[in-house]
Structures are given as C-alpha cells and as structure tokens.
Amino acid sequence: MSFQRLFLTALILIPFQLLGNENHYTLDFSQIEGNALEWFEKNGWAEQVDMDKMNPRFEKGTLVIEPKDDYSGVFFKDFRPDSRQLKGVNKIRIEWGVEQYPEGSDWSGATDEKRNVRNAIGVMVFFGDEDQDSGVFYVPNIPYFLAFFLGEKERPGIAYLGNYWQKTGRYFCTPCDGKIGEFITEMELPKTFNRQFGFDPPPISGISIDADASNTTPKNGRHSKSFIRKIELLP
C-alpha cells in the first residue's frame, strides 16, 4: 500500500446496486457485468496508479483484482465534487476475500524506516475536505483516513502505520489470520477515528479500493488475487 502516485447514489440501477444518501452508502458488485474499468469510469470513480494493469474484472458477483506483475493500483471515489459528503455513518461492513496474498509483504519493523507494506486488497475511507501532510514532499497530501486490508502475517487489533501519512492515516487488518477465502470485515468508524486521532471525525469525503503487489514475488503466475463482493457504510 505504498501509493507513491496516489491522487496525480435508496437507488437501484440494473445491472448493479449503488445506494446512497447522507448517512448510508452501498456498493454491491453481485449483479455487475461488463468491463470493470469502464464501469468505474462511468460511475465517477478514478482509476489511479496502475490499476488498469492489475487485471480488474467482474466475476461471479465480485470485483476481482489479480496482478500478473508487481503493480499497485487504486479505484477512488471523491464525494466532494458532488457535495455528497456522508454524515452520520457509524459502521463500515465489507464482504471480500483473498485467494493469494502478495509474497514478501511485511508490515512489521520500525515505522521510521521504509517497509514493504503491501496488501492483496484494501478499502480506504477518507474524512474531511483538507488534505493532510504525507510526510515527504514527493508523495501527495490527502485527507485523514482509516484503511482496512486483508493480510497474511499481520494481526487484528493493531493500528498499523504505513510509510506515509503516519500522523493522519491508520491501517487495520481485520479479520486477519492468514487464511484464504471469503471474509466479513466490520468496524465502527467514529469511535475508531476518535481513538486514533483524538477528535470526532469530519464527514466522509471519499472512498477507495486498492491493491499493492509492488516489490513482491510471483507465484502461480501472479503476484496476488483478491475480490470484493460488497462495501457498506451504515448509520
């Protein structure tokens, strides 16, 4: 999850479901078909870094990401241009899974040193309008965020720091036992944000789906394979 180059609507639409109001947002891939890159562009998501090279596709009611090389990539939805920041969201719920973790990912070690912090799949939730300092001049500033990922060697209950945005971003691996398969991740957002940063969160201003296989070793002809079925931001 390096993101060195990161950052350069109840309604049912067939064949997918996208539900949203001021305190509820659901992204459901269970009925989506067609080209994934075209779908995200049509629905206001930006494809960033190298997501277009990571073999994103809709398959068996999920969004699958399966990089054949050591790429990182992001799909990013910014609520701010549409004045649709979400207020009153209490919980995030994600249905997702992993078939292969990136070999060589390691979130351990001193946070003041560069680590190979990678992930098969992640979701980031951004808070507020103001961009915060990344910590280095060559990495863009972004708002406060809470990030969730599935990792092989990491542990639940730990607020991990990445290589950048260490004062304003936290990463959580949950559930996190190294198994492959499908999982459900749930977490209370306001309580978690306040515990990490010491104040109540601003409205949610964006959300992203990411994967990072940079500097990892291929296996089975790929660097990782993961999928998402549904993301819900709930009151």
Residue extents of the structural domains in the chain: 78-234
Residue pointed to by tokens 């960033």: 48
Q: How far apart are CA 235 and CA 231, in angstroms?
A: 13
pLDDT of residue 101: 98
Average confidence (pLDDT) over 77-88: 86
Confidence at 177, pLDDT banded by 50, 70, 90: confident
- pLDDT tens for each residue of 200-210: 999 999 999 99
Q: Which residues contact 140 (CB under 8 A, 6 or more apart)?
A: 6, 7, 8, 131, 134
pLDDT in tens, 182-223: 999 999 999 999 999 999 999 999 999 999 999 999 999 999
- pLDDT tens for each residue of 2-15: 444 444 322 222 23
**Cα atoms found within 13 Å of the Cα of residue 145, Cβ hemisphere only:** 30
Q: Check residue 234 and give its pLDDT.
A: 97
* Residue 21: predicted pLDDT: 59
% of the chain residues with pLDDT over 90: 86
Band of pLDDT at residue 23, cut at 50, 70 and 90:
confident
Tokens 């779908």 appear where? 39
**What is the tally of helices (H) and strands (E) in the chain?**
2, 14
Closest alpha carbon to 59 in 85, 93, 30: 30
* Reported confidence tier of residue 43, pLDDT bands at 50, 70, 90: very high
Angle at the Cα of 167 from the Cα atoms of 71 and 122, rounded to 5 degrees: 35
**pLDDT band at residue 163 using 50, 70 and 90 as cut-offs:** very high
Nearest CA-CA partner of 231 in 155, 148, 143: 148
Please report which confidence band the pLDDT of residue 149 belongs to, taking 50, 70 and 90 as the band edges: very high
- C-beta separation of 73 from 53 below 8 A: yes
Alpha-carbon span 209 to 40, nearest angstrom: 11
